[in-house]
Structure 1
Amino acid sequence: MNGSPATSLASASPRAALSSAMTDPFGRTISYLRVSVTDRCDLRCFYCMSEDMTFLPKADLLTLEELDRLCSAFIAKGVKKLRLTGGEPLVRRNVMSLVRSLSRHLTSGALGELTLTTNGTQLAKHARELADCGVRRINVSLDTLDPKKFREITRWGEIDKVLEGIEAARAAGLAVKINAVALKNLNEDEVPGLLRWAHGKGMGLTLIEVMPMGEIGAGRIDQYLPLSLVRARLAQQFTLTDLAESTGGPARYVSVAETGGKLGFITPMTHNFCESCNRVRITCTGTLHTCLGHEDASDLRKPLRASSDDELLAAAIDRAIGLKPKGHDFIIDRRHDRPSVSRHMSVTGG
């Protein structure tokens, strides 16, 4: 890695939390942390947020130094994979100073992977520095290759900026995986082409079902496309073979013989992934959610700010992990065409 970590952020945590590994009541070890660094985004994808979203006051957000200290406490407690999310993480001012600082945990070996999920609009500016900080792979959210549909989905986005960002990431040596939300009557006919395009560039593709999170001004039953149906359709064109491997997240993977690539399915609705859940999420305000599909919430900002050491913080984390539920409560049907949880994905950290 080039350069040295940002000591101004690293010095925010005088000593790491001392505690055993995090294990929930069902014996699942928590090793994967997803952190939303901002709820703001420069796009307005219609399945994610309403067009006239009201974002949090900037004063409510944790500082970058506080985010560094919080992430470091989780790493000290056994987190091996850390993903920065949003909103769009790369629109947060000076976010690269946080990435540089967190990279010290890669150097020490305490952290196995530092990565992020992005919409790609800011990647052209940051791809090289991300690689220099030890980021080795990223996820880019892209639901269509059609410029007109892209503007429809994002409400005003320009796909050329995203494609430019993807190429910049590949040129910087980053492995890119495309995440695409399957949308009924919108991009379902594009899935085979999206698969060939991604695999043709050496990128992975993961398909995701719509999740009922937050009011978006539209009914999700009209967006929801079961991936069981998508897979059945793909099997008519491609040879799909189940793979046992995992990247530590919720996706189930198949190999595609005709392209030589991998295809992932994230299916919170048709086949949930709760039994092997190793993940928790922190919002940009310091709220810990142990389950994406529950309204559970534990305030970590208060203990974070109450003491300069991490004893109170470690205790609060342990209490929250002890309340992690067995599984989520996502439902989408005509009787339940409303959010299963009130918070938006952009706040939670997708």
Structure 2
Amino acid sequence: PGIEKVTLTTNGVLLKDQMSDFARAGLDGLNISLDTLDEACSRRITRRDELGRTLEGISEAMKYPEISLKINCVPLGIQEQDLCRVALFARDHRVHVRFIEMMPIGMGKEFHGVSEEELLRILGEKLPRFSPYVGEPLGNGPCHYYDVDGFSGKIGFISAVSHKFCGECNRIRLTSQGFLKTCLQYAAGRDLREVIRSGGSDEVLKAMILEALAEKPDGHAFGVGLEKQKDDKTEKLCMAQIGG
């Protein structure tokens, strides 16, 4: 009760066999990670040879139009990624393709990434005309979308570094260790698992969550050297440890 939508983010490798179960369970949306359509580049990025199974999973997911489908792509500044090929998913299918800017967290610090302006230049050289989407919201997050002439879906951008949106951020994360994180860059938050395992009541748990929200950082400082920050309270975990 009170939960309006449940969305799953996945690499899609097991979706072919699982989609019917997800549909019966009432899943509302899927975000599928797809960073490239080049097999060699996919192996380099993911360290797995699973691109074919991911594409099979996407094809299976498209059989359930009642479940919204979005493709997540993180540009890494690798030419072989061929971002235009990924974007063309939105031309041929009612699928929104979102380009997510690399954030300098964990292994992300080792990649240069690609800014939204550079992405628009790259895509604009091969794709039709872009125009800002002004219709009904396509989700609850920070992504902003473009219509592209002749495309069935939209092209979206989540640009946390080059287009800082901290003032509009409505996201918190609960890690697999039960820690409530209020900002990706910082270790701020509360250990909710400890409250639950020590027998804390729902009231205590709610009060702790509200305390964490009240202390949510004003914004990240990605791109600012630590020597320029007042103190180092940055997160030491990588994204795989933090989770969604």
TM-score (norm 1): 0.62
Alignment of 1:38-49 (within 5 A): none
Q: Structure 1: state its 5+ residue gaps.
A: 1-104
Q: Indicate yes or no: 2:67 matched with 1:178.
A: no
Q: Deviations over 1:195-222 (max 9, x none)?
A: 1134312211000111111147x7223x
- Give the number of equivalent residue pairs: 234
Contact 1:181 1:208 in 2 (8 A): yes
In the alignment, residue 38 of structure 2 is paired with which amino acid? D
Q: 2:132 aligns with which of 231, 242, 248?
A: 242
Contact 1:120 1:162 in 2 (8 A): yes
Q: Note closer, same or farther for the CA distance 1:229–1:326 as it changes in structure 2 (3 Å cut).
A: same
d(CA) in 1 for partners of 2:181, 2:194:
15
Residue 41 of structure 2 is matched in structure 1 by 149
- Structure 1 position 185, deviation (Å): 2.6
- Structure 1 position 332, deviation (Å): 7.8
Q: Deviations over 1:220-248 (max 9, x none)?
A: 23xx1112111123234321111243511
- Structure 1 position 308, deviation (Å): 6.5
- Structure 1 position 345, deviation (Å): 1.0
Contact 1:304 1:312 in 2 (8 A): no
Q: Indicate yes or no: 2:187 matched with 1:295.
A: yes
Residue 343 of structure 1 is matched in structure 2 by 237
Contact 1:303 1:313 in 2 (8 A): yes
Q: Note closer, same or farther for the CA distance 1:261–1:332 as it changes in structure 2 (3 Å cut).
A: farther
Contact 2:89 2:97 in 1 (8 A): no
Secondary structure at 1:171's aligned position in 2?
Answer: coil
Contact 2:76 2:111 in 1 (8 A): no
Alignment of 1:237-276 (within 5 A): 237-244=127-134, 245-276=137-168
Residue 117 of structure 2 is matched in structure 1 by 228
Contact 2:90 2:154 in 1 (8 A): no
Using the aligned pairs only, state the percent identity.
Answer: 33
Residue 3 of structure 2 is matched in structure 1 by 111
Secondary structure at 1:128's aligned position in 2?
Answer: helix
In the alignment, residue 241 of structure 2 is paired with which amino acid? V
TM-score (norm 2): 0.87
- Structure 1 position 284, deviation (Å): 0.5
Alignment of 1:206-217 (within 5 A): 206-215=98-107
d(CA) in 1 for partners of 2:213, 2:77:
36
Secondary structure at 2:35's aligned position in 1?
Answer: coil
Alignment of 1:1-350 (within 5 A): 105=1, 110-173=2-65, 174-187=67-80, 190-215=82-107, 219-221=110-112, 224-236=113-125, 237-244=127-134, 245-307=137-199, 309-331=201-223, 341-350=235-244
Secondary structure at 1:117's aligned position in 2?
Answer: strand
- Structure 1 position 187, deviation (Å): 4.4
- Structure 1 position 263, deviation (Å): 0.8
Q: Deviations over 1:38-74 (max 9, x none)?
A: xxxxxxxxxxxxxxxxxxxxxxxxxxxxxxxxxxxxx
d(CA) in 2 for partners of 1:225, 1:214:
17
Q: Note closer, same or farther for the CA distance 1:268–1:277 as it changes in structure 2 (3 Å cut).
A: same
Q: Structure 2: state its 5+ residue gaps.
A: 229-233
Q: Deviations over 1:238-276 (max 9, x none)?
A: 211112435111211111113142111011111012111
In the alignment, residue 210 of structure 1 is paired with which amino acid? M
